[in-house]
Amino acid sequence: MTIRERRRRRKRLRLIKRLATAGLIFSAVGGVTLATLVAGINNSLDILQKRGIPISDWDQKKRELYRLKVFGGKVYFLAAELDRSEQKTNKENEADGSEKQAAEKRTERGQGNA
């Protein structure tokens, strides 16, 4: 057997191992209940929301997906139309409030507006 034949054989064996592993993963996930799959997707949605990554509706860009629910064996998505301007003003107000609190603490300590 030449070196080239050995390399081809090793390459085929690696491919077979990858396919077998993918098949095992799919069969393991395929046996999971619908509720478990939806719970996993909801966990992923939570992670994306915490990172500030919105998942928008394709047709109505203002609507954002925030949860999946199972009712009667069917999966439904829950989306809300969020007003980004309100969220920005709330964040700005929170920032202003924290700056005011910091200024008050400085004046209490006798540091003034330094």
Task: Supply the pTM of this predicted model.
Answer: 0.49
Which residue has better confidence, 58 or 42?
A: 42
Cα–Cα dist 2/8, whole Å: 10
Is it the case that residue 9 has pLDDT exceeding 70? yes
Q: Kindly report the backbone phi and psi dihedral angles of residue 91, in degrees, each rounded to the nearest multiple of 5, phi listed first.
A: -65, -40
User: Rounded to an integer, what distance in angstroms lies between the CA atom of residue 43 and that of residue 107?
Assistant: 44
The pLDDT assigned to 27 comes to 67
List phi, psi (to 5°) of 66. Answer: -130, -10
Decide if 75 contacts 34 (C-beta within 8 A). Answer: yes
pLDDT for 96 beyond 60: no
